[in-house]
Structure 1
Amino acid sequence: MLKSGLYGKYKGVECEITLDMDNNLKIITEDKLNIDATFEYNYNSGFYSKIVKPNELLDCVSIVPYGIIQEEKVQILKEKESQYQVATDSLLVGSNLNLTRVDRDTWLGWVSKSKVTLIEEKTPINPEDL
């Protein structure tokens, strides 16, 4: 599964981190096995969330995925079964990959996962700074 965004460990379990509209730090998970009665079920979405304090989180990182195709770096936006949706601002890369030009400087399209080397750029973050 493609990860993108903020993640941290809560009680040893990795969860996605987000801020709500009131600037509360929240963790989100789909895994029913790792929740307790303090989690809220969010509007039939399949996701459970809980407001936490920054000091309850460990190993927090920001994850930005990108791919290497034909020795060129591309953004990875989405994932489906056997493909990644990729984007680039390079005319040469966009043309070589037969991507669709969606504006002056952006080419977008779906590429087989077998053609992409997936790289997750992980940057440590301090949850106190969120």
Structure 2
Amino acid sequence: MRSVVVFLLFSLTSTLACAEGLGANDIRYVDRLSIDRSGSVWLLLVIDRPLEDGLTKPRTISKLNAYASFVKSGQFRTSHPEAKPELGVRLTVLHPAKRNALGASVLEQLAAHCKTLGFAALFQQIEEKEK
């Protein structure tokens, strides 16, 4: 139950991450990090570019690799001693709508890469605001 509550709170903060303009373009920052009472690590990654543009996949893979390095780093352990990444790292990926088969393929490849890195990933489509 606690994990569900943490996830819901975590999901509510996703609009904040989008507003800050972070996302796949900037690998220097984790878009959002939360640690629940059990020590489980929750990460957020915002894909803020079209899936089909040719740059999204390599940039997102670079950011995923940076997330994995960060979680495994001594700096992370020192900064967040309450974290227990051995319980599993949960990652929510917010992404734009896929426009065609290429977009679907990019998401499938990103999901496979998340699995390779050991992330339990949940992909959620960002709802586009009406203009």
Q: State the TM-score, normalized to the length of structure 2.
A: 0.22
More helix by share: 2
Larger CA Rg, structure 1 vs 2: 1
Compare the two structures and name the one with the higher strand fraction. 1
